[in-house]
Structure 1
Amino acid sequence: MTYATVMVSLALDQPNDARLQVAGELAERFEAAVVGVAAAQFPPPLYFTDGAEAQRLIDQGGASIKRRLAELEAKFRTATRNRGGHVEWRSTMDFPARFVVAQARCADIIVSGGQSPAFSDAFALASPKDLVMQAGRPVLVVPDKDNWLDLRSVLVAWKDAPEARRALADALPMLRKARDVVVVEIPERDGRSAAMTRVTDVTAWLARHGITATARVSELARNQSAAEQLGNVAGDVGAGLIVAGAYGHSRFSELVLGGVTEYLVTQSARCVLLSH
Protein backbone atom coordinates (compact mmCIF):
# COMPACT_ATOMS: atom_id res chain seq x y z
CA MET A 1 0.00 0.00 0.00
CA THR A 2 1.11 3.55 -0.74
CA TYR A 3 -0.39 6.99 -1.22
CA ALA A 4 -0.84 7.51 -4.96
CA THR A 5 -2.89 10.70 -4.65
CA VAL A 6 -2.56 13.32 -1.91
CA MET A 7 -5.39 15.84 -1.61
CA VAL A 8 -4.91 19.13 0.23
CA SER A 9 -7.91 21.12 1.42
CA LEU A 10 -7.28 24.88 1.35
CA ALA A 11 -9.26 27.60 3.10
CA LEU A 12 -9.97 31.20 2.16
CA ASP A 13 -9.72 32.62 5.67
CA GLN A 14 -7.04 30.46 7.29
CA PRO A 15 -3.27 30.06 6.86
CA ASN A 16 -2.45 27.46 4.20
CA ASP A 17 1.36 27.42 4.18
CA ALA A 18 1.79 24.50 6.60
CA ARG A 19 -0.67 22.18 4.90
CA LEU A 20 0.72 23.02 1.46
CA GLN A 21 4.25 22.27 2.66
CA VAL A 22 3.26 18.91 4.17
CA ALA A 23 1.13 17.92 1.17
CA GLY A 24 4.03 18.66 -1.17
CA GLU A 25 6.38 16.71 1.07
CA LEU A 26 4.03 13.70 1.05
CA ALA A 27 3.78 13.87 -2.73
CA GLU A 28 7.57 13.80 -2.98
CA ARG A 29 8.02 10.98 -0.47
CA PHE A 30 5.49 8.72 -2.16
CA GLU A 31 5.87 9.97 -5.74
CA ALA A 32 2.19 10.79 -5.63
CA ALA A 33 -0.13 13.07 -7.52
CA VAL A 34 -1.31 16.08 -5.54
CA VAL A 35 -4.78 17.58 -5.86
CA GLY A 36 -5.65 20.96 -4.39
CA VAL A 37 -9.29 21.61 -3.46
CA ALA A 38 -11.06 24.71 -2.23
CA ALA A 39 -14.60 26.02 -2.17
CA ALA A 40 -16.64 28.77 -0.56
CA GLN A 41 -20.23 29.91 -0.66
CA PHE A 42 -21.43 33.49 -0.40
CA PRO A 43 -23.81 33.75 2.58
CA PRO A 44 -27.13 35.43 1.83
CA PRO A 45 -27.58 39.01 3.10
CA LEU A 46 -28.73 39.02 6.71
CA TYR A 47 -30.80 42.18 6.44
CA PHE A 48 -33.87 43.04 4.42
CA THR A 49 -33.35 44.51 0.96
CA ASP A 50 -35.24 44.45 -2.29
CA GLY A 51 -34.60 41.93 -5.05
CA ALA A 52 -32.30 44.04 -7.21
CA GLU A 53 -30.11 45.15 -4.30
CA ALA A 54 -29.93 41.62 -2.91
CA GLN A 55 -28.86 40.30 -6.31
CA ARG A 56 -26.19 43.00 -6.56
CA LEU A 57 -24.76 41.94 -3.19
CA ILE A 58 -24.83 38.28 -4.17
CA ASP A 59 -23.08 39.03 -7.48
CA GLN A 60 -20.39 41.07 -5.71
CA GLY A 61 -19.88 38.35 -3.11
CA GLY A 62 -19.67 35.66 -5.76
CA ALA A 63 -17.10 37.65 -7.76
CA SER A 64 -15.01 38.15 -4.62
CA ILE A 65 -15.02 34.43 -3.84
CA LYS A 66 -14.03 33.52 -7.40
CA ARG A 67 -11.15 36.01 -7.25
CA ARG A 68 -9.93 34.58 -3.94
CA LEU A 69 -10.21 31.01 -5.20
CA ALA A 70 -8.07 32.00 -8.18
CA GLU A 71 -5.49 33.44 -5.76
CA LEU A 72 -5.52 30.17 -3.81
CA GLU A 73 -4.97 28.22 -7.02
CA ALA A 74 -1.94 30.36 -7.86
CA LYS A 75 -0.53 29.78 -4.37
CA PHE A 76 -1.17 26.03 -4.64
CA ARG A 77 0.57 25.76 -8.00
CA THR A 78 3.57 27.73 -6.76
CA ALA A 79 3.88 25.55 -3.65
CA THR A 80 3.61 22.26 -5.56
CA ARG A 81 5.83 23.16 -8.49
CA ASN A 82 8.40 20.39 -9.03
CA ARG A 83 6.97 18.34 -6.15
CA GLY A 84 5.58 14.87 -6.76
CA GLY A 85 4.00 13.96 -10.05
CA HIS A 86 0.66 15.04 -11.48
CA VAL A 87 -0.72 18.31 -10.06
CA GLU A 88 -4.41 19.20 -10.30
CA TRP A 89 -6.63 21.97 -8.97
CA ARG A 90 -10.36 21.74 -8.21
CA SER A 91 -12.50 24.59 -6.88
CA THR A 92 -16.07 25.81 -7.05
CA MET A 93 -18.76 27.91 -5.39
CA ASP A 94 -20.15 25.48 -2.85
CA PHE A 95 -20.13 24.65 0.83
CA PRO A 96 -16.48 23.73 1.44
CA ALA A 97 -16.99 20.53 3.46
CA ARG A 98 -19.53 19.17 0.99
CA PHE A 99 -17.23 19.86 -1.96
CA VAL A 100 -14.09 18.39 -0.37
CA VAL A 101 -15.96 15.28 0.80
CA ALA A 102 -17.24 14.70 -2.74
CA GLN A 103 -13.77 15.17 -4.27
CA ALA A 104 -12.21 12.78 -1.72
CA ARG A 105 -13.21 9.88 -3.96
CA CYS A 106 -10.06 10.52 -6.02
CA ALA A 107 -7.61 10.65 -3.08
CA ASP A 108 -5.80 8.25 -0.78
CA ILE A 109 -5.28 10.80 1.98
CA ILE A 110 -6.54 14.33 2.70
CA VAL A 111 -4.30 16.99 4.21
CA SER A 112 -6.27 19.55 6.20
CA GLY A 113 -5.49 22.56 8.32
CA GLY A 114 -5.05 22.41 12.04
CA GLN A 115 -6.96 23.96 14.87
CA SER A 116 -10.35 25.16 13.68
CA PRO A 117 -12.51 27.79 15.38
CA ALA A 118 -15.02 26.54 17.94
CA PHE A 119 -17.79 27.89 15.73
CA SER A 120 -16.49 27.60 12.18
CA ASP A 121 -18.17 29.23 9.21
CA ALA A 122 -19.64 26.46 7.04
CA PHE A 123 -19.74 28.93 4.12
CA ALA A 124 -15.96 29.44 4.15
CA LEU A 125 -14.25 26.53 5.89
CA ALA A 126 -14.11 22.75 5.50
CA SER A 127 -13.63 21.92 9.16
CA PRO A 128 -11.26 19.01 9.83
CA LYS A 129 -13.96 17.65 12.12
CA ASP A 130 -16.37 17.33 9.19
CA LEU A 131 -13.71 15.87 6.88
CA VAL A 132 -12.61 13.24 9.39
CA MET A 133 -16.15 12.02 10.01
CA GLN A 134 -17.52 12.23 6.46
CA ALA A 135 -14.78 11.82 3.85
CA GLY A 136 -14.17 8.08 4.10
CA ARG A 137 -10.45 8.73 3.74
CA PRO A 138 -7.69 9.25 6.31
CA VAL A 139 -7.24 12.91 7.18
CA LEU A 140 -3.85 14.33 8.13
CA VAL A 141 -4.49 17.36 10.35
CA VAL A 142 -1.54 19.77 10.15
CA PRO A 143 -1.12 22.51 12.78
CA ASP A 144 -0.61 25.94 11.27
CA LYS A 145 2.83 26.29 12.88
CA ASP A 146 4.22 23.06 11.36
CA ASN A 147 6.15 23.19 8.11
CA TRP A 148 7.16 19.54 7.77
CA LEU A 149 5.95 16.05 8.63
CA ASP A 150 8.21 14.74 11.39
CA LEU A 151 8.26 10.92 11.17
CA ARG A 152 11.21 10.37 13.48
CA SER A 153 8.81 9.25 16.21
CA VAL A 154 5.19 8.18 15.63
CA LEU A 155 2.69 7.43 18.37
CA VAL A 156 -0.23 5.10 17.62
CA ALA A 157 -3.09 5.79 20.04
CA TRP A 158 -4.68 2.37 20.30
CA LYS A 159 -8.27 1.59 21.20
CA ASP A 160 -9.68 -1.83 20.39
CA ALA A 161 -12.27 -0.52 17.95
CA PRO A 162 -12.77 -0.56 14.15
CA GLU A 163 -11.75 3.10 13.81
CA ALA A 164 -8.32 2.48 15.33
CA ARG A 165 -7.76 -0.59 13.15
CA ARG A 166 -8.67 1.42 10.08
CA ALA A 167 -6.36 4.26 11.09
CA LEU A 168 -3.46 1.88 11.62
CA ALA A 169 -3.94 0.33 8.17
CA ASP A 170 -4.27 3.79 6.59
CA ALA A 171 -1.03 4.89 8.25
CA LEU A 172 1.11 1.96 7.05
CA PRO A 173 2.92 3.95 4.33
CA MET A 174 4.02 6.56 6.90
CA LEU A 175 4.86 4.00 9.56
CA ARG A 176 7.22 2.25 7.13
CA LYS A 177 9.16 5.52 6.86
CA ALA A 178 9.19 6.22 10.59
CA ARG A 179 12.28 5.73 12.73
CA ASP A 180 10.46 4.88 15.98
CA VAL A 181 6.87 3.70 16.42
CA VAL A 182 5.14 3.36 19.78
CA VAL A 183 1.71 1.78 20.19
CA VAL A 184 0.04 2.94 23.40
CA GLU A 185 -3.27 2.15 25.04
CA ILE A 186 -4.73 4.04 27.98
CA PRO A 187 -7.10 1.50 29.56
CA GLU A 188 -10.27 2.93 31.05
CA ARG A 189 -12.02 -0.16 32.43
CA ASP A 190 -10.17 -3.46 32.26
CA GLY A 191 -6.66 -3.92 33.58
CA ARG A 192 -3.15 -3.34 32.41
CA SER A 193 -2.61 -7.00 31.48
CA ALA A 194 -5.50 -7.07 28.98
CA ALA A 195 -4.35 -3.78 27.47
CA MET A 196 -0.78 -5.06 27.09
CA THR A 197 -2.09 -8.15 25.30
CA ARG A 198 -3.91 -5.93 22.82
CA VAL A 199 -1.01 -3.57 22.04
CA THR A 200 1.37 -6.53 21.79
CA ASP A 201 -0.94 -8.05 19.17
CA VAL A 202 -0.81 -4.74 17.29
CA THR A 203 2.99 -4.52 17.35
CA ALA A 204 3.21 -8.15 16.17
CA TRP A 205 0.88 -7.30 13.27
CA LEU A 206 3.06 -4.32 12.41
CA ALA A 207 6.18 -6.52 12.54
CA ARG A 208 4.66 -8.78 9.90
CA HIS A 209 4.39 -5.66 7.74
CA GLY A 210 8.08 -4.91 8.26
CA ILE A 211 7.56 -2.24 10.95
CA THR A 212 9.29 -2.47 14.32
CA ALA A 213 7.13 -0.97 17.07
CA THR A 214 7.15 -0.80 20.87
CA ALA A 215 4.09 -1.74 22.93
CA ARG A 216 3.19 0.51 25.85
CA VAL A 217 0.33 0.79 28.34
CA SER A 218 -0.13 4.10 30.13
CA GLU A 219 -2.32 4.13 33.21
CA LEU A 220 -4.90 6.89 33.33
CA ALA A 221 -3.58 9.32 35.92
CA ARG A 222 -5.86 10.65 38.61
CA ASN A 223 -7.44 14.00 37.78
CA GLN A 224 -6.45 13.66 34.13
CA SER A 225 -8.56 12.92 31.09
CA ALA A 226 -7.53 10.32 28.54
CA ALA A 227 -6.80 13.17 26.11
CA GLU A 228 -4.44 14.85 28.58
CA GLN A 229 -2.71 11.56 29.29
CA LEU A 230 -2.27 10.91 25.57
CA GLY A 231 -0.73 14.35 25.20
CA ASN A 232 1.72 13.53 27.98
CA VAL A 233 2.73 10.26 26.32
CA ALA A 234 3.18 12.01 22.97
CA GLY A 235 5.50 14.48 24.68
CA ASP A 236 7.43 11.70 26.43
CA VAL A 237 8.22 9.89 23.17
CA GLY A 238 8.77 13.10 21.18
CA ALA A 239 6.06 12.17 18.71
CA GLY A 240 5.93 14.23 15.53
CA LEU A 241 2.82 12.36 14.40
CA ILE A 242 -0.09 10.72 16.24
CA VAL A 243 -2.16 8.03 14.50
CA ALA A 244 -5.63 7.43 15.92
CA GLY A 245 -9.16 6.40 15.16
CA ALA A 246 -11.77 9.16 15.12
CA TYR A 247 -14.88 8.65 17.22
CA GLY A 248 -18.05 10.68 17.06
CA HIS A 249 -21.53 10.98 15.62
CA SER A 250 -24.02 13.51 14.35
CA ARG A 251 -26.78 14.64 16.71
CA PHE A 252 -29.34 16.42 14.58
CA SER A 253 -27.16 19.02 12.79
CA GLU A 254 -24.43 19.03 15.45
CA LEU A 255 -21.23 17.02 15.09
CA VAL A 256 -20.30 15.52 18.43
CA LEU A 257 -16.77 14.12 18.78
CA GLY A 258 -15.36 11.99 21.55
CA GLY A 259 -13.05 13.68 24.05
CA VAL A 260 -9.78 12.29 22.65
CA THR A 261 -10.86 12.90 19.04
CA GLU A 262 -11.83 16.49 19.87
CA TYR A 263 -8.44 17.00 21.48
CA LEU A 264 -6.56 15.53 18.52
CA VAL A 265 -8.42 17.67 15.98
CA THR A 266 -7.89 20.90 17.88
CA GLN A 267 -4.43 20.49 19.46
CA SER A 268 -1.63 22.45 17.80
CA ALA A 269 1.53 20.62 18.90
CA ARG A 270 1.89 17.92 16.23
CA CYS A 271 0.40 16.39 13.09
CA VAL A 272 -2.37 13.83 13.55
CA LEU A 273 -3.60 11.15 11.14
CA LEU A 274 -7.24 10.26 11.82
CA SER A 275 -9.57 7.70 10.27
CA HIS A 276 -13.22 7.01 10.94
Structure 2
Amino acid sequence: MTYATVMVSLALDQSNEARLQVAGELAERFEAAIVGVAAAQFAPPLYFTDGAAAQGLIDEGEASVRRRLAALEAQFRAATRNRGGHAEWRSAMDFPARFALAQARCADIVVSGGQSPAFSDAFALASPKDLVMQAGRPLLVVPDGANWLDLRSVLVAWKDTPEARRAVADALPMLRKARDVTIAAIPERDDDRSVVMAGVTDVAAWLARHGVTATARVSEAAGDEPAAAQLEQVAGDVGAGLIVAGAYGHSRFRELILGGVTQYLVTQSARSVLLSH
Protein backbone atom coordinates (compact mmCIF):
# COMPACT_ATOMS: atom_id res chain seq x y z
CA MET A 1 0.00 0.00 0.00
CA THR A 2 1.11 3.55 -0.74
CA TYR A 3 -0.40 6.99 -1.12
CA ALA A 4 -0.92 7.73 -4.81
CA THR A 5 -3.02 10.88 -4.33
CA VAL A 6 -2.84 13.34 -1.44
CA MET A 7 -5.70 15.81 -1.00
CA VAL A 8 -5.23 18.99 1.03
CA SER A 9 -8.25 20.92 2.28
CA LEU A 10 -7.66 24.68 2.50
CA ALA A 11 -9.63 27.19 4.55
CA LEU A 12 -10.49 30.83 3.99
CA ASP A 13 -10.19 31.90 7.62
CA GLN A 14 -7.26 29.82 8.86
CA SER A 15 -3.56 29.68 8.11
CA ASN A 16 -2.80 27.17 5.35
CA GLU A 17 1.01 27.26 5.28
CA ALA A 18 1.59 24.26 7.55
CA ARG A 19 -0.90 21.95 5.86
CA LEU A 20 0.42 22.90 2.41
CA GLN A 21 3.99 22.24 3.50
CA VAL A 22 3.17 18.84 4.99
CA ALA A 23 0.86 17.80 2.14
CA GLY A 24 3.52 18.72 -0.41
CA GLU A 25 6.17 16.84 1.52
CA LEU A 26 3.90 13.81 1.81
CA ALA A 27 3.23 13.84 -1.96
CA GLU A 28 6.95 14.16 -2.62
CA ARG A 29 7.90 11.29 -0.30
CA PHE A 30 5.43 8.93 -1.96
CA GLU A 31 5.68 10.32 -5.51
CA ALA A 32 1.97 11.06 -5.30
CA ALA A 33 -0.30 13.51 -7.05
CA ILE A 34 -1.56 16.38 -4.89
CA VAL A 35 -5.06 17.85 -5.11
CA GLY A 36 -5.93 21.13 -3.43
CA VAL A 37 -9.57 21.78 -2.55
CA ALA A 38 -11.43 24.76 -1.13
CA ALA A 39 -14.99 25.98 -1.09
CA ALA A 40 -16.97 28.70 0.61
CA GLN A 41 -20.43 30.17 0.69
CA PHE A 42 -21.44 33.79 1.14
CA ALA A 43 -23.17 34.12 4.51
CA PRO A 44 -25.75 36.95 4.43
CA PRO A 45 -25.65 39.21 7.50
CA LEU A 46 -28.24 38.83 10.21
CA TYR A 47 -29.72 42.16 9.22
CA PHE A 48 -30.96 42.07 5.63
CA THR A 49 -32.80 44.10 3.03
CA ASP A 50 -34.70 43.33 -0.16
CA GLY A 51 -34.96 44.24 -3.81
CA ALA A 52 -32.00 45.71 -5.69
CA ALA A 53 -30.10 46.47 -2.48
CA ALA A 54 -30.35 42.83 -1.43
CA GLN A 55 -29.15 41.57 -4.80
CA GLY A 56 -26.27 44.01 -4.73
CA LEU A 57 -25.23 42.78 -1.30
CA ILE A 58 -25.35 39.16 -2.47
CA ASP A 59 -23.38 39.92 -5.64
CA GLU A 60 -20.72 41.77 -3.68
CA GLY A 61 -20.45 39.00 -1.10
CA GLU A 62 -20.16 36.25 -3.70
CA ALA A 63 -17.55 38.23 -5.64
CA SER A 64 -15.52 38.54 -2.43
CA VAL A 65 -15.68 34.78 -1.89
CA ARG A 66 -14.51 34.14 -5.47
CA ARG A 67 -11.56 36.48 -4.97
CA ARG A 68 -10.58 34.70 -1.77
CA LEU A 69 -10.83 31.29 -3.45
CA ALA A 70 -8.64 32.57 -6.28
CA ALA A 71 -6.09 33.72 -3.69
CA LEU A 72 -6.12 30.23 -2.15
CA GLU A 73 -5.52 28.70 -5.57
CA ALA A 74 -2.54 31.01 -6.08
CA GLN A 75 -1.18 29.97 -2.67
CA PHE A 76 -1.63 26.29 -3.55
CA ARG A 77 0.06 26.71 -6.94
CA ALA A 78 3.01 28.52 -5.37
CA ALA A 79 3.42 25.87 -2.67
CA THR A 80 3.38 22.97 -5.15
CA ARG A 81 5.29 24.58 -8.03
CA ASN A 82 8.62 22.94 -7.21
CA ARG A 83 7.29 19.61 -5.93
CA GLY A 84 7.64 17.92 -9.30
CA GLY A 85 4.48 15.78 -9.27
CA HIS A 86 0.99 16.29 -10.64
CA ALA A 87 -0.89 19.12 -8.92
CA GLU A 88 -4.59 19.82 -9.40
CA TRP A 89 -6.86 22.51 -7.96
CA ARG A 90 -10.60 22.14 -7.27
CA SER A 91 -12.85 24.84 -5.80
CA ALA A 92 -16.50 25.79 -5.71
CA MET A 93 -19.09 28.13 -4.25
CA ASP A 94 -20.40 25.51 -1.85
CA PHE A 95 -20.37 24.55 1.81
CA PRO A 96 -16.72 23.62 2.46
CA ALA A 97 -17.37 20.33 4.24
CA ARG A 98 -19.84 19.12 1.62
CA PHE A 99 -17.46 19.95 -1.22
CA ALA A 100 -14.37 18.47 0.46
CA LEU A 101 -16.21 15.27 1.40
CA ALA A 102 -17.27 14.77 -2.22
CA GLN A 103 -13.74 15.35 -3.52
CA ALA A 104 -12.21 12.90 -1.02
CA ARG A 105 -13.24 10.07 -3.34
CA CYS A 106 -10.19 10.90 -5.50
CA ALA A 107 -7.61 10.65 -2.71
CA ASP A 108 -5.84 8.08 -0.55
CA ILE A 109 -5.36 10.51 2.33
CA VAL A 110 -6.77 13.93 3.23
CA VAL A 111 -4.66 16.65 4.88
CA SER A 112 -6.34 19.34 6.97
CA GLY A 113 -5.51 21.89 9.61
CA GLY A 114 -6.58 21.43 13.19
CA GLN A 115 -9.71 22.89 14.70
CA SER A 116 -9.77 25.68 17.22
CA PRO A 117 -11.81 24.90 20.35
CA ALA A 118 -13.74 28.08 19.51
CA PHE A 119 -16.65 28.19 17.07
CA SER A 120 -15.64 27.58 13.45
CA ASP A 121 -17.45 29.01 10.43
CA ALA A 122 -19.14 26.27 8.38
CA PHE A 123 -19.40 28.77 5.48
CA ALA A 124 -15.60 29.22 5.28
CA LEU A 125 -13.83 26.00 6.26
CA ALA A 126 -14.27 22.24 6.35
CA SER A 127 -13.95 21.14 9.96
CA PRO A 128 -11.59 18.18 10.53
CA LYS A 129 -14.38 16.76 12.68
CA ASP A 130 -16.62 16.48 9.62
CA LEU A 131 -13.82 15.21 7.39
CA VAL A 132 -12.61 12.40 9.63
CA MET A 133 -16.06 11.10 10.50
CA GLN A 134 -17.55 11.18 6.99
CA ALA A 135 -14.84 11.14 4.30
CA GLY A 136 -14.08 7.41 4.33
CA ARG A 137 -10.39 8.29 4.07
CA PRO A 138 -7.66 8.74 6.68
CA LEU A 139 -7.25 12.35 7.79
CA LEU A 140 -3.87 13.87 8.57
CA VAL A 141 -4.45 16.82 10.90
CA VAL A 142 -1.55 19.30 10.78
CA PRO A 143 -1.20 21.94 13.52
CA ASP A 144 -0.49 25.49 12.39
CA GLY A 145 2.95 25.44 13.98
CA ALA A 146 4.20 22.44 11.99
CA ASN A 147 6.80 23.05 9.29
CA TRP A 148 7.51 19.45 8.28
CA LEU A 149 6.15 15.91 8.66
CA ASP A 150 8.21 14.58 11.55
CA LEU A 151 8.38 10.78 11.27
CA ARG A 152 11.39 10.30 13.53
CA SER A 153 9.08 8.95 16.25
CA VAL A 154 5.49 7.81 15.62
CA LEU A 155 3.06 6.90 18.39
CA VAL A 156 0.18 4.52 17.64
CA ALA A 157 -2.56 5.12 20.21
CA TRP A 158 -3.95 1.60 20.39
CA LYS A 159 -7.44 0.57 21.43
CA ASP A 160 -8.84 -2.75 20.26
CA THR A 161 -11.55 -1.28 18.03
CA PRO A 162 -12.26 -1.31 14.28
CA GLU A 163 -11.32 2.38 14.09
CA ALA A 164 -7.86 1.83 15.59
CA ARG A 165 -7.23 -1.21 13.36
CA ARG A 166 -8.18 0.85 10.33
CA ALA A 167 -5.92 3.72 11.43
CA VAL A 168 -2.87 1.46 11.75
CA ALA A 169 -3.51 -0.02 8.31
CA ASP A 170 -4.03 3.45 6.80
CA ALA A 171 -0.78 4.65 8.37
CA LEU A 172 1.36 1.78 7.07
CA PRO A 173 3.13 3.84 4.37
CA MET A 174 4.22 6.38 6.98
CA LEU A 175 5.10 3.75 9.56
CA ARG A 176 7.45 2.11 7.06
CA LYS A 177 9.32 5.41 6.76
CA ALA A 178 9.40 6.13 10.49
CA ARG A 179 12.59 5.74 12.49
CA ASP A 180 10.87 4.66 15.74
CA VAL A 181 7.32 3.36 16.21
CA THR A 182 5.66 2.90 19.60
CA ILE A 183 2.31 1.16 20.05
CA ALA A 184 0.79 2.33 23.31
CA ALA A 185 -2.42 1.27 24.99
CA ILE A 186 -4.03 3.13 27.89
CA PRO A 187 -6.07 0.61 29.89
CA GLU A 188 -9.43 1.58 31.27
CA ARG A 189 -10.17 1.06 34.94
CA ASP A 190 -11.56 -2.50 34.63
CA ASP A 191 -9.27 -3.77 31.86
CA ASP A 192 -7.12 -6.83 32.40
CA ARG A 193 -3.58 -5.55 31.82
CA SER A 194 -2.35 -8.90 30.48
CA VAL A 195 -5.13 -8.95 27.89
CA VAL A 196 -4.31 -5.40 26.83
CA MET A 197 -0.62 -6.27 26.52
CA ALA A 198 -1.45 -9.34 24.43
CA GLY A 199 -3.38 -7.12 22.02
CA VAL A 200 -0.57 -4.58 21.69
CA THR A 201 1.93 -7.40 21.16
CA ASP A 202 -0.26 -8.81 18.36
CA VAL A 203 -0.28 -5.42 16.62
CA ALA A 204 3.52 -5.16 16.92
CA ALA A 205 3.87 -8.63 15.39
CA TRP A 206 1.47 -7.71 12.58
CA LEU A 207 3.49 -4.59 11.84
CA ALA A 208 6.73 -6.62 11.86
CA ARG A 209 5.32 -8.80 9.09
CA HIS A 210 4.80 -5.59 7.12
CA GLY A 211 8.38 -4.48 7.63
CA VAL A 212 7.80 -2.15 10.59
CA THR A 213 9.66 -2.65 13.86
CA ALA A 214 7.56 -1.34 16.76
CA THR A 215 7.82 -1.21 20.53
CA ALA A 216 4.76 -2.33 22.53
CA ARG A 217 3.81 -0.36 25.61
CA VAL A 218 0.92 -0.44 28.08
CA SER A 219 0.56 2.56 30.36
CA GLU A 220 0.29 2.16 34.10
CA ALA A 221 -3.06 2.84 35.70
CA ALA A 222 -3.39 6.58 36.29
CA GLY A 223 -6.45 6.78 38.52
CA ASP A 224 -8.91 9.39 37.33
CA GLU A 225 -6.52 11.14 34.96
CA PRO A 226 -8.25 11.63 31.56
CA ALA A 227 -7.11 9.37 28.74
CA ALA A 228 -6.15 12.41 26.64
CA ALA A 229 -3.75 13.59 29.36
CA GLN A 230 -2.23 10.11 29.62
CA LEU A 231 -1.81 9.97 25.86
CA GLU A 232 -0.08 13.35 25.89
CA GLN A 233 2.30 12.07 28.56
CA VAL A 234 3.24 9.05 26.45
CA ALA A 235 3.63 11.21 23.33
CA GLY A 236 5.99 13.47 25.23
CA ASP A 237 7.95 10.52 26.61
CA VAL A 238 8.67 9.12 23.14
CA GLY A 239 9.03 12.50 21.43
CA ALA A 240 6.28 11.69 18.96
CA GLY A 241 6.08 13.87 15.86
CA LEU A 242 3.01 11.97 14.64
CA ILE A 243 0.18 10.23 16.50
CA VAL A 244 -1.89 7.53 14.78
CA ALA A 245 -5.33 6.87 16.29
CA GLY A 246 -8.86 5.75 15.61
CA ALA A 247 -11.51 8.48 15.57
CA TYR A 248 -14.62 8.02 17.68
CA GLY A 249 -17.97 9.82 17.83
CA HIS A 250 -20.90 9.70 20.22
CA SER A 251 -23.84 10.40 17.91
CA ARG A 252 -25.18 7.34 16.09
CA PHE A 253 -27.01 9.47 13.55
CA ARG A 254 -24.41 11.99 12.35
CA GLU A 255 -21.40 11.30 14.57
CA LEU A 256 -20.66 15.01 14.84
CA ILE A 257 -19.89 14.91 18.57
CA LEU A 258 -16.36 13.59 18.97
CA GLY A 259 -15.15 11.48 21.85
CA GLY A 260 -12.82 13.09 24.39
CA VAL A 261 -9.52 11.79 23.02
CA THR A 262 -10.53 12.42 19.39
CA GLN A 263 -11.63 15.96 20.27
CA TYR A 264 -8.27 16.52 21.95
CA LEU A 265 -6.36 15.21 18.94
CA VAL A 266 -8.01 17.60 16.47
CA THR A 267 -7.48 20.63 18.72
CA GLN A 268 -3.98 20.04 20.16
CA SER A 269 -1.27 22.07 18.49
CA ALA A 270 1.96 20.15 19.12
CA ARG A 271 1.90 17.16 16.76
CA SER A 272 0.44 15.98 13.48
CA VAL A 273 -2.24 13.29 13.89
CA LEU A 274 -3.45 10.61 11.50
CA LEU A 275 -7.06 9.67 12.28
CA SER A 276 -9.31 7.03 10.74
CA HIS A 277 -12.95 6.25 11.39
Scaled to the shorter chain, the TM-score interval is: over 0.9
Q: Distance in 2 between matches of 1:214 and 1:192?
A: 17
Q: Which amino acid aligns with 1:236?
A: D
Q: Residue in 1 aligned with 2:215? A: 214
Q: Residue in 1 aligned with 2:258? A: 257
Q: Residue in 1 aligned with 2:5? A: 5
Identity of aligned residues (%): 83
* Distance change >3 Å, CA 274–CA 84, structure 1 → 2: farther
Q: 2:237 matched to 1:236?
A: yes
* Distance change >3 Å, CA 76–CA 2, structure 1 → 2: same
Stretches (4+) displaced over 4 A? 251-254
Deviates further, 19-28 or 81-90 = 81-90
- Post-superposition CA distance 1:72-103 (Å, at most 9, x none): 10110000112141100000100000000000
Q: Distance in 2 between matches of 1:270 and 1:253?
A: 27
| Gap regions ≥5 residues in structure 1 | none
Calculate the TM-score normalised by the size of structure 2: 0.97
Equivalent residue of 2:116, what SS?
coil
Alignment of 1:33-48 (within 5 A): 33-48=33-48
| Gap regions ≥5 residues in structure 2 | none
* Distance change >3 Å, CA 228–CA 99, structure 1 → 2: same
Q: Distance in 2 between matches of 1:48 and 1:265?
A: 35
How far residue 223 of structure 1 moved from its aligned partner, in angstroms, is 3.5
Q: Residue in 2 aligned with 1:83? A: 83
Equivalent residue of 1:257, what SS?
coil
Equivalent residue of 1:174, what SS?
helix
Q: Is the 8 A contact 1:220 1:229 kept in 2?
A: no
Calculate the TM-score normalised by the size of structure 1: 0.97
Q: Which amino acid aligns with 1:15?
A: S
* Distance change >3 Å, CA 85–CA 79, structure 1 → 2: same
How far residue 254 of structure 1 moved from its aligned partner, in angstroms, is 7.7
- Post-superposition CA distance 1:173-204 (Å, at most 9, x none): 00000000000100102121111000000000
Q: Is the 8 A contact 2:249 2:255 kept in 1?
A: no
How far residue 52 of structure 1 moved from its aligned partner, in angstroms, is 1.9
Q: Residue in 2 aligned with 1:121? A: 121
Q: Which amino acid aligns with 1:224?
A: E
Deviates further, 22-31 or 112-121 = 112-121
Equivalent residue of 1:35, what SS?
strand
Q: 2:51 matched to 1:54?
A: no
Q: Distance in 2 between matches of 1:202 and 1:4?
A: 25
Q: Which amino acid aligns with 2:156?
A: V
Q: Distance in 2 between matches of 1:151 and 1:157?
A: 15
Q: Is the 8 A contact 1:115 1:144 kept in 2?
A: no
Q: Is the 8 A contact 1:115 1:268 kept in 2?
A: no
Q: Residue in 1 aligned with 2:16? A: 16
How far residue 159 of structure 1 moved from its aligned partner, in angstroms, is 0.6
* Distance change >3 Å, CA 259–CA 220, structure 1 → 2: farther
Q: 2:191 matched to 1:190?
A: yes
Q: Is the 8 A contact 2:133 2:255 kept in 1?
A: no
RMSD of the alignment, in Å? 1.3
